[in-house]
Amino acid sequence: MAFRINYSRIFEKTLTRLDRQNVRRVLKKSEDLSTSLQGVVKVLHCPPDLPDLQKIRVGDWRVFLWIDEMRQEITLYAVWHRCEAYKKLFNK
């Protein structure tokens, strides 16, 4: 069964900063994730205001997300380049 994908405003905003090729790659990886969660998702030790946040890697980009298995939903939180991703998460 496929998970439904939701986009946060932050995700939509950060996605617009990527070039067209990387946008396609991120969206394709997200679609693939909606049908199979195996092996690609990493759990993070996140700040308390973002509990249970997880990530997937898409080249040099990191896509942060939440997975709700009970509701069969994936909520995409943000996408940032690996150089800035963790600074943005932990230095809000």
Give the fold, CATH level 3, of 4-90.
Answer: YaeB-like fold (3.30.2310)
E-strand spans in 1-92? 4-7, 42-43, 54-58, 61-68, 73-81
Q: Residue 13 is inside which H or E element, if any?
A: helix 9-15
Between these two residues, 41 and 8, which has the higher pLDDT value? 8
Kindly report, residue by residue over 36-92, the tens digit of the pLDDT.
776 677 777 777 778 889 999 999 999 999 999 899 999 999 999 999 998 888 775
Kindly report, residue by residue over 18-52, the tens digit of the pLDDT.
999 999 999 999 888 888 776 677 777 777 778 88
Q: How confident is the model at residue 1 (pLDDT cuts 50, 70, 90)?
A: low
- pTM check: above 0.85: yes
